[in-house]
Amino acid sequence: MNIGEVAKSSGMSTKMIRHYEETGLIRAATRTGANYRVYTPRDVQVLRFVRQARHLGFSTKQIAVLLALWEDRSRSSGEVKRLANEHIANLNLRIQELVEMRDTLRHLAAHCKGDSRPDCPILEKLAGAAH
């Protein structure tokens, strides 16, 4: 398969495939004599794995670890579960931070008159936070 076919099959853009190859997250495709990339069905599987891991919010570094674990059939599932639980804990922290940001903005927006006057508690809060 060429890169366009792999992109379509994996749901990933050609640009991202090239990026992941360049960064070493995935192995570089073999090349034809004319220097075209050639991919296998296994490469599509790996790209789908990466796409799903990104969708779940794993970092590139975490995905590299998960790929290594996926390919190591002698590994225990305990390490995978530990990584997933760490990621869940990090997601929960990020969710809490987002909720706090939303609540603060909601409060500020509720107290902004939104009229023609220049007084704005949103801008006042931003200016105060900069100090």
Could you report the per-residue pLDDT of 4-33, keeping only the tens digit for each? Answer: 999 999 999 999 999 999 999 999 999 989
How far, in Å, CA of 125 to CA of 120, rounded?
A: 9
Q: Does domain 1-74 match CATH 2.40.128.260?
A: no
Tokens of 43: 């490469």
**Bridge partners of 37?**
31
- 70-128: per-residue pLDDT in tens? 999 999 999 999 999 999 999 999 999 999 999 999 999 999 988 888 889 899 989 98
- 44-63: per-residue pLDDT in tens? 999 999 999 999 999 999 99
pLDDT of residue 131: 44
Please report, for the chain, the start and end positions of each structural domain, with discontinuous segments joined by +: 1-74, 76-131
Q: How far does Cα 23 stand from its chain's mean position?
A: 15
Which helix (H) or strand (E) covers residue 54, if one does? helix 41-55
